[in-house]
Amino acid sequence: MDTADPAPEPALAVIEGGGSGPAGAASSSQPDDSLAYVSFAVKYSGSMLSVRLGEDDCVADLKAILYSLTDVPPASQKLLGITRGKPPSDDTLVGSIPFAPSALKPRPQNAPGQPQEPAGPAATDKVQVSFMLLGTPEADRFQDPSGTIKFAEDLEDRLAGDIDYAQQQEAVKTAVPPDQDPKNLRKLEKVIARFSNFSVMNEPRAGKRLLVLDLDYTIADTKRLLDPASPASVAARPGLHDFLAAAYRDYDICVWSQTSWRWLEVKLIELGMIGHDQFNISFVLDRTPMFSITAPGGKKHEVKPLELIWRRWPDLYGPHNTIHVDDLSRNGAINPKNICKIRAYKDAPRFDTELQAVLKLLRQLAHPSITDFRDVDLKAWKHFQGAEKQD
């Protein structure tokens, strides 16, 4: 490095594991003084990223935050210099990482006689670590339309497939349901403490129910959406805007996608879902606050914890008035009575009436006779015969 007045590098700061997107805003909760923390200074593409994690967090948490900041998927991230040999596995606790001596940063010391500078939270951390991140952002991976586009949920679908937890519980009687597993509940509390202060685009409306919508293969054909030679309107599920406008009368709308915030924001704009004159999106969540659970049989997958939203607005939303519409039921394993699995929208068929069927269900749930969505069997939602709310 040049020693003569070097230009400062641009920096992105992350406090207590927060990110730069809506799900990565700094948490409003105070850090637990009883926990030991580790500060990371991450050099990536000419910028310095600052991340602070507790020793009981794991490498997967670090990668999730870096994904939100850089758009580099966790599976493609290379953490250079963090250890001497083999990189730590995703489930390695931060406090157990054998950091390379060269990665350990000395804390700045004041010269003798100099007044003590005010110290930030990182100054008292147990360890301060620096390393380099290598990896290609998702947006740069999607530039070649001639090849098969690989997408996170495509790969997971092929490798693992969706999981029917009701069927799994029948097969494995001794298994603890995911929403009751103490390990998952501890992860949930950690996510809520860290990411509860996510950004809001349009304030929630009193008296409305909550509709949580997946993006990928639920309201749009993701492969078509990622094709730069194809307009986003072609990728949208038929009737999308009419569906959102009708649902907005009774529901606040959240879009929760298993992708990064940067990609999500761009695609929502291209789909015409931001700034529409007939509906508003209340808030958007990306992959950052999702966490991994283990299904019976040992398969791991991520979930979308609705409790993160319910804790933010306990007087507005709860399990009694929230529906999560997704093409993968495993995404709702932590809230099994609120997930409504619909048919995946792939290859952009022109004739598709799934959103019209979902809208009928939303009107049925909005009827005054329904006071708790959990009383409706959403696993068999197409057979529900409830009365519809009239406009």
- Is 178 in the same domain as 308? yes
Residue 278 CB neighbour total at 10 angstroms: 11
Is there a domain that residue 68 lies in? yes
Q: How far from 154 is each of 133, 161, 217, CA to CA, in Å?
A: 25, 9, 10
**Total of domains in the chain:** 2
Structural domain including 178 reads: 149-383
Q: How far apart are CA 294 and CA 44, in angstroms?
A: 31
The CATH number of whichever domain residue 332 belongs to comes to 3.40.50.1000
- Is 101 in the same domain as 217? no
Q: How far from 389 is each of 208, 244, 359, 371, CA to CA, in Å?
A: 13, 16, 11, 13
Which single residue is written with the structure tokens 């590098």?
Answer: 9
Is there a domain that residue 242 lies in? yes
- Is 114 in the same domain as 156? no
What's the whole-model pTM score? 0.72
In the listed set 111, 136, 161, which residue is the last one of a domain according to the structure? Answer: 136
Is there a domain that residue 4 lies in? no
- Is 64 in the same domain as 88? yes
Q: How far from 107 is each of 39, 103, 110, 128, 229, CA to CA, in Å?
A: 11, 13, 10, 8, 51
The CATH number of whichever domain residue 35 belongs to comes to 3.10.20.90
Q: How far from 336 is each of 89, 140, 255, 332, CA to CA, in Å?
A: 29, 36, 18, 6
- Is 92 in the same domain as 236? no
In the listed set 108, 136, 164, which residue is the last one of a domain according to the structure? Answer: 136
Quote the pLDDT of residue 318.
98
Tokens of 324: 């999560």
* Predicted confidence pLDDT, tens digits, the chain (391 residues): 443 443 334 444 343 444 334 444 333 334 455 568 899 999 998 889 998 888 888 898 899 888 888 888 888 899 999 998 888 999 899 999 999 999 998 765 555 555 554 455 555 567 889 999 998 887 665 444 434 444 555 544 434 467 666 555 555 555 788 999 999 999 999 899 888 899 999 999 999 999 999 999 999 998 888 787 888 888 999 999 999 999 999 999 999 998 877 778 888 999 999 999 999 999 999 988 998 898 877 788 899 999 999 999 999 999 999 999 999 999 999 999 999 999 999 887 888 999 999 999 999 999 999 999 999 999 999 999 999 998 7
- Is 118 in the same domain as 231? no
- Is 58 in the same domain as 111? yes
Is there a domain that residue 34 lies in? yes
In the listed set 136, 170, 198, which residue is the last one of a domain according to the structure? Answer: 136
Is there a domain that residue 1 lies in? no
Is there a domain that residue 3 lies in? no
- Is 130 in the same domain as 187? no
- Is 61 in the same domain as 123? yes
Q: DSSP letter at 109?
A: -
- Is 261 in the same domain as 231? yes
- Is 132 in the same domain as 154? no
Q: How far from 109 is each of 9, 119, 125, 129, 247, CA to CA, in Å?
A: 21, 11, 15, 17, 58
- Is 349 in the same domain as 302? yes
Is there a domain that residue 389 lies in? no
Q: How far from 351 is each of 160, 326, 354, 383, CA to CA, in Å?
A: 29, 19, 10, 21
Q: How far apart are CA 161 and CA 11, in angstroms?
A: 39
Asked if 348 and 225 touch (Cβ cutoff 8 Å), the reply is no
> If residue 204 lies in a helix (H) or strand (E), which one and from where to where?
none
